[in-house]
Amino acid sequence: MDRICLPEETYERVRPFLKTLGITRIGRQTGLDHIGIPIWCAYTPNAKSIVVAQGKGLADADARTSAVMEAIERAVACDPFLSIRNVSASALSDADERVDLLVPLLGRNQSPPRATDIMAFAAGEDLFGSERVYVPAEAVSLDRTLSNCRYWQSSDGLASGNTHGEAIFHGLLERVERDAHVLWQVLPQSSQHSRCLEPDAFSDEDVRSLIVKIEDAGILLRMFDMTSDIGIPCIGAFLAAKVALASRAPRYVDVTFGCGAHPSPERAAIRALTEAAQSRVTYISGARDDVFHETYRRPLPERLLRLFSADPSRGVPLPGPNDLAGILGNLKRSGITQAIAVRLSAPALPFAVVKILVPGLESPEGERRHRFGGRAMTASFTS
């Protein structure tokens, strides 16, 4: 499912709402780096979460809209349009309502809630059966001003779109991407290296143009096929300046990473490459309030350095299903039987923001009670 309209049209749809959402400035950051891949940013000064959102793309219009939509996602998730029920899980169950306490998403040092605990619940939709499912409201909020929040607050699975269905599709792809990346991370180094992609295997003009820009800028590139058993192409890209890796003490910030999952392997590659370029600008600009001073002084782990010695030999992964039903079918074949979509934006708006929760998939590193789930544990023991 592609976007229903061009990035320029999406921008015009959402522009009248930026002031209301607290988004005050939009800027072009491309020139902060010498690669030339378009990177933009959007500022929400009084945000209850991260103030700076960034966006990337093949052209300025793509990157501008990407940055604005990310800022919108966060602004909405900090103050979501939810109908809250303050009730216990057992009371909901007694009323024949489905409930998921989302134990895999509990915050670090947090105990699982009891069925009798009174909590704020929000309603979501199980995409496998269109049934209503109640989930803890804290698990879908990005409001960092909440005290003693029981759940991990993350933008993982947070997505926007011109329509509700579009937002769901792209949010689900992000969850597939994060899961695939974690499963690749737990592989032995030899298995990771064996998945190194040959950049020349891509014939798509847009992918080729990005690779040429990166190589012409003196940047080393390694791309890896991270596609999991779910069968949705997932590609990771690592970038590093040649001069930085040649130094005696390369830093953690000298290597950046981007990842993308999409039914089209070319689209997945574009997302990975542009995101890796965006991450370079994140470090260069120093504007993100979730990247701390210690990060810039951290040495580069040897494991990351060795990725650039991987031999690019793998071909382009096969395409995946290009609709929601097909992706859900692939998830079900991999043992995933629940995917919950919680609408966070008001229905009357000309755009939609959703939070996609798939507890059976792995999640990225974060302040959670459990770092890994069953899929990662199985992969680490069987690889």
Annotated domain spans of the chain = 188-324
For residues 270-298, give the mean pLDDT.
Answer: 92
The sign of the dihedral angle between the CA atoms of 106, 111, 114, 118 is negative
CA 159 → CA 73, 81, 169, 173, 272, distances in Å?
6, 15, 9, 10, 17
* pLDDT band, residue 122 (cuts 50/70/90): very high
Q: Are 40 and 26 in contact (CB under 8 A)?
A: yes
For residues 256-277, give the mean pLDDT.
Answer: 98
pLDDT in tens, 306-345: 999 999 998 999 999 999 999 999 999 999 999 999 999 9
For residues 44-48, give the mean pLDDT.
Answer: 95
Q: Are 259 and 362 in contact (CB under 8 A)?
A: no
Output the average pLDDT for the chain: 95
Q: How far out from the chain centre does Cα 265 lie?
A: 17
* Token pair listed for 203: 């014939």
**Using CB atoms within 10 A of its CB, is residue 361 exposed (0-12), middle (13-18) or buried (19+)?**
buried
For residues 213-218, give the mean pLDDT.
Answer: 97
Report the alpha-carbon distance of residue 68 to residue 70 in Å, rounded. 5
Residues 6 or more apart in contact with residue 371 via CB below 8 angstroms: 365
pLDDT in tens, 2-41: 778 999 999 999 999 999 999 999 999 999 999 999 999 9
pLDDT in tens, 128-144: 998 999 999 999 999 99
Q: At what angle do helices 164-185 and 374-382 cross, to 10 degrees?
A: 30
Q: Give the pairing of strands 98-99 and 52-56.
A: unpaired
Kindly tell me if the per-residue pLDDT of 148 is higher than 70.
yes
CA 293 → CA 29, 253, 255, 302, distances in Å?
21, 11, 16, 21
* pLDDT band, residue 1 (cuts 50/70/90): low
pLDDT in tens, 55-92: 999 999 999 999 999 999 999 999 999 999 999 999 99
Q: Are 84 and 137 in contact (CB under 8 A)?
A: yes
Report the alpha-carbon distance of residue 177 to residue 260 in Å, rounded. 6
Report the alpha-carbon distance of residue 162 to residue 14 in Å, rounded. 9
Q: Give the pairing of strands 352-357 and 158-161.
A: antiparallel
Residue 228 CA neighbour count, 13 Å, CB half: 30
Architecture of the domain delimited by 188-324: 2-Layer Sandwich (3.30)
CA nearest to 47, candidates 24, 16, 81, 17: 24
pTM to 2 decimals? Answer: 0.95
Query: By percentage, how much of the chain surpasses pLDDT 70?
Result: 99
Confidence at residue 220, expressed as pLDDT on a 0 to 100 scale: 97
* Token pair listed for 267: 């689209």
